[in-house]
Structure 1
Amino acid sequence: MTRLNLDVRNHLADSSEFSGQPKYEQLREHVVSQIKSGTLKAGAALPSESRLAEHLQIARSTVRQALAALERDGLILRVHGKGTFIHEEARQRLQKSQDLYALILPEMEAGFYPALQRSFEQAAGEMRNQVVVCNSNNEVEKQASAILQLIDLRVAGVAIVPATSGATPTFQIRQLQRNGIPVVCCSRPIPGTQTPVLAIPFENIGKLAGQKIGAAGHTRAAFFSTGKGTATDAYERGFREAMGARADVDVFISSGNPTDYKTIEKDCGEAIDQLFQRPHPPTAFFCGFDSYAEMIYLMLAQRGLRVPTDVSLVGFGGTQRGGGLARHLTSVVIDEVGMGAQAVAMLASMRKGETPIDAHEVRQLPLSFNLGTTLYAPEAE
């Protein structure tokens, strides 16, 4: 019969291979390594908790923790009255776990998300990991369904841009972590969870947009965003601060989901019509996302308003300026390529045990500015 090599006892005390890891994690890794090497084959019986504890000279509770972790990973099977056995699919599951990273996005075609996806896939590929990409359509329930499927696939790690149509429940992320799957939050944290965060500084984006618009000479501006939330609040706060108390700032927030383009376009058109019925309409717009700014550009043109002569336009997006209009759009930009690479590096570090799976490191991503051609000094009245 294939048996567990119990020569791990000394490793649990002083091996540099396991330095800094709790003993239950060391025991778990030892079992995993024997499954990978083929020493422990499918169906092999493991010693009882009491025998393992006695032979390895560790607490029985430590053994119990290690076995619980292996069971959560689907690597062992406990049969009441018979014992604990290596799962029939243990090696296949470990292979999947080693190979597959996941990226969950609220949308995949607009803004900087395509470039983020490409950079994530490239960084994962350099580590010989495959990638599965899930589109939540910015819906919390669809996001939950994707997470359940990723747990079933036993992926090696998940990077997620959380949906904003509602608050992401903490249990969605904890389910991943309880199954030994590390998580990195991109863009914004999920309150109540302990994960590394690659944070977009939304308030600073609003400030930089306001500074550039104010420096160009605008004193009447409008801020357009989709959906009320922490990011929108931070955009507005920073924008108002930079524009100053003497500036006239209008705020328009669409009632539609950020991926509900039909509703957004209808709401936005109505807002533009109302603004330009005034004797003194805004001379500059700041939009919370490049795809939104592009839509507004076209809607202004349909109404005979010239950008930037009649109305200046500033968006927010990534450094990769794909598409004819995006290249000309004046925008605050963030390094989405660096975000993808950092997310993969963080997941790999947690997977190797170098960083705790519940580490709460927050990295603020740097901002820059794409000058474009859509910001112009207002015409004198």
Structure 2
Amino acid sequence: MTVLNLKEMTDLAAAEETTGQPKYEQLRDYVVSQIESGALKSGAALPSENRLAENLQIARSTVRQALSALERDGLVLRVHGKGTFVHDEAKQRLRKSQDLFALIVPETETAFYPSLQRSFERAAAELHNQVVVCNSNDDIDKQASAILQLIDLRVSGVAIIPATNPVTPAFHVRQLQKNNIPVVCCSRPVHGSPTPLLAIPFEDVGLRAGEKIREAGHRHVAFFGSAHSIASDMYVRGFRKAMGGGARVEIFVGSGQPTNYAALEKECSQAINAMFSKAETPTAIFCGFDSLAETIYMLLVQRGIRVPQDVSLVGFGGTYRGGGLANHLSSVTIDEIGMGHQAIELLSKMRNGQMPIDSSEVRQLPLSFNDGSTLASTSAKA
């Protein structure tokens, strides 16, 4: 009879209290991890229900539930009067789920996320892997639910742009890693969970935007951000640094969820009314995301404020500009296509054992600038 690691099995006994995951699911996942690692080989016998229940200090019905789940998945055979055995094709069946990479993003409709998704899918296809995309809507509860489903699917790896409002807790990532699922953080890290990071240099984004605006002669400017976050703080820091001490910088940051577009537009509308009702008004605005810049553009036009003749507008987004207004926006840009390809590269290396699952490698993504037509020199004003 195969003897499973008693220490690891005992640790499962108290795990439900800290993770919220039912004990039968944790026992099922533990057996799966032993099959994947080769500790449990084809045909190996599992300990009896009584032995498992005694070691884990759980009811036999809970053990029976875990074994039934394994049997439904085709990973074990239960032979009446003899016991439970690892199926001869268990490892091959598990490999089918390992053909799946996952991408978790805070939205799927605007900014550079659709382009990131396409590049992630293309890079995965080159390795003959499929992709599942999860939209967290920048909500940590939705993100947590997606993570549990991905663990259940036994995906091969997860690239995640962590939710920010509130900040993603470290245990979201740790749960994936505990199940031997590699994780790559994109844009920003999850503090307390070592993972490779494809980082957006947020302060440099603000710095680049400020430099372009200052070079165009603007000295009274504004920043619009969709929500309070580390990113918005860093944008402002870089923006102020580039503008210098002699500039006047007005700041607006939304108070709610960045994906609550109706509420954000209402707040932005009120902020624009306040800014442009004064005798001296900003001559340039920097927005933390292209989708927000598009909203600001429309709000300005509705008030008869011309862009860029009356006020210049600079956004931030991906190198792929697409059609419509995004193509005309003057924007700091990030290589989101490279982000997708590098995420797959890092996940593949961790899956294949070429780098540790808890690697702390950081790669800074390069910035560029799309000139567009919404940034004008103050000397060119009509």
TM-score normalized by structure 2?
A: 0.80
Cα deviation, residue 78, structure 1: 12
2 CA distance for matches of 1:173 and 1:182? 9
The alignment covers a number of residue pairs equal to 326
1 CA distance for matches of 2:192 and 2:270? 38
Contact 1:310–1:378 (8 Å) recurs in 2: no
2 CA distance for matches of 1:193 and 1:174? 6
Contact 1:256–1:264 (8 Å) recurs in 2: yes
Q: What is the letter of the counterpart of residue 306 of structure 2? A: R
Which residue number in structure 2 is paired with residue 337 of structure 1? 337
Q: What is the letter of the counterpart of residue 299 of structure 2? A: M
Which residue number in structure 2 is paired with residue 173 of structure 1? 173
Which residue number in structure 2 is paired with residue 9 of structure 1? none
Q: Does 1:349 align with 2:349?
A: yes
Q: Which string of whole-angstrom CA distances, capped at 9 and with x for unpartnered residues, describes residues 196-253 of structure 1?
A: 0000000000000000000000000000001111101000000000000000000000
Which residue number in structure 1 is paired with residue 292 of structure 2? 292
Q: Which string of whole-angstrom CA distances, capped at 9 and with x for unpartnered residues, describes residues 150-200 of structure 1?
A: 000000000000011111111110000000000000000000001000000
Counterpart of 2:296 in 1: which secondary structure? helix
Shift in alpha-carbon separation, 1:370–1:147, aligned structure 2, 3 A? same
2 CA distance for matches of 1:177 and 1:87? 25
Q: Does 1:320 align with 2:320?
A: yes
Q: Which string of whole-angstrom CA distances, capped at 9 and with x for unpartnered residues, describes residues 311-355 of structure 1?
A: 100000001001211010000000000000000000000000000
2 CA distance for matches of 1:87 and 1:166? 43
Q: Percent identity?
A: 63
Which residue number in structure 1 is paired with residue 196 of structure 2? 196
Counterpart of 1:186 in 2: which secondary structure? strand
1 CA distance for matches of 2:119 and 2:338? 8
Q: In angstroms, what is the RMSD of aligned CA positions? A: 2.8
Counterpart of 2:360 in 1: which secondary structure? coil
Which residue number in structure 1 is paired with residue 156 of structure 2? 156
Shift in alpha-carbon separation, 1:270–1:108, aligned structure 2, 3 A? same
Q: What is the letter of the counterpart of residue 375 of structure 1? A: L
Counterpart of 1:233 in 2: which secondary structure? helix
Cα deviation, residue 83, structure 1: 8.1
Counterpart of 2:38 in 1: which secondary structure? helix
Q: Does 1:246 align with 2:246?
A: yes
Contact 2:36–2:91 (8 Å) recurs in 1: no
After superposition, where does 1:34-49 map in structure 2 within 5 Å?
Answer: 40=42, 44-45=44-45
Q: Does 1:31 align with 2:42?
A: no
Query: Deviating runs (4+, > 3 A) in structure 1?
Result: 27-30, 73-79, 82-85
2 CA distance for matches of 1:370 and 1:146? 35
Which residue number in structure 2 is paired with residue 211 of structure 1? 211
Cα deviation, residue 46, structure 1: 7.2
Which residue number in structure 2 is paired with residue 225 of structure 1? 225
Q: Which string of whole-angstrom CA distances, capped at 9 and with x for unpartnered residues, describes residues 269-318 of structure 1?
A: 00001001111100000000000000110110000000000010000000
After superposition, where does 1:10-25 map in structure 2 within 5 Å?
Answer: none
Counterpart of 1:355 in 2: which secondary structure? coil
Which residue number in structure 2 is paired with residue 15 of structure 1? none
Cα deviation, residue 129, structure 1: 0.3
Q: Which consecutive residues of structure 1, in runs of 5 or more, have no partner in the other structure?
A: 4-26, 48-70
Q: What is the letter of the counterpart of residue 243 of structure 2? A: M
Q: What is the letter of the counterpart of residue 289 of structure 2? A: F
TM-score normalized by structure 1?
A: 0.80
2 CA distance for matches of 1:275 and 1:87? 69
Q: What is the letter of the counterpart of residue 253 of structure 2? A: I
2 CA distance for matches of 1:339 and 1:87? 39
Shift in alpha-carbon separation, 1:267–1:134, aligned structure 2, 3 A? same
Which residue number in structure 2 is paired with residue 259 of structure 1? 259
1 CA distance for matches of 2:289 and 2:254? 13
Contact 2:35–2:90 (8 Å) recurs in 1: no
Contact 2:331–2:369 (8 Å) recurs in 1: yes
2 CA distance for matches of 1:297 and 1:340? 29
Shift in alpha-carbon separation, 1:74–1:137, aligned structure 2, 3 A? farther
2 CA distance for matches of 1:132 and 1:110? 18
Which residue number in structure 2 is paired with residue 306 of structure 1? 306
